[in-house]
Structure 1
Amino acid sequence: MKALQRITFNPEIMGGKPCIRDMRVTVGMIVGLMAARHTPEDILKAYPYLEREDIYEALAYAAWRVEEIEVPLASA
């Protein structure tokens, strides 16, 4: 996966949730809007400070995160 440059983490912004370019727009919000059948055009119209690439990078980040697996550590 290529490095994601638009997804930021800052404990001072939205409690450290993954956000778009240090704005108060979380990846979860973008994914939720898409899941509710809003188009990228709808989202860009509602949030004019976002860019189309922000939306696609948020989706790429979310897809990457759901593919993670947890590997249990051996107990001591």
Structure 2
Amino acid sequence: MKNNRIIWILLLMIACGLFLVGLNTNNFLYNVLTIIIAFLVYRKGYSDLFQEYDKKQDAKRESSKQVYNALYKSKAK
């Protein structure tokens, strides 16, 4: 798990580096490689990178939903 996360972070850093090189050299190929790497990280590495964040957000959404339902039910009476 931790090794996978490190790999995805390194790939993101490589993509950022390629993007900056592409901007400096005006070479379109670097930007295409950046887009491909970013897409792969988004599709394959999202769960490894943002698993903890997603759990926290789900807990917040559930808590907000419970509060909303409690308020809505009290107003309906």
Both structures adopt the same fold (TM-score exceeding 0.5): no
Over alpha carbons, which structure has the higher Rg?
2
Q: Which structure has more strand as a fraction of its residues? A: 1
- TM-score, normalised to structure 1, is 0.31
- TM-score, normalised to structure 2, is 0.30
Greater relative CO, 1 or 2 (CA 8 Å, sep 6+): 2
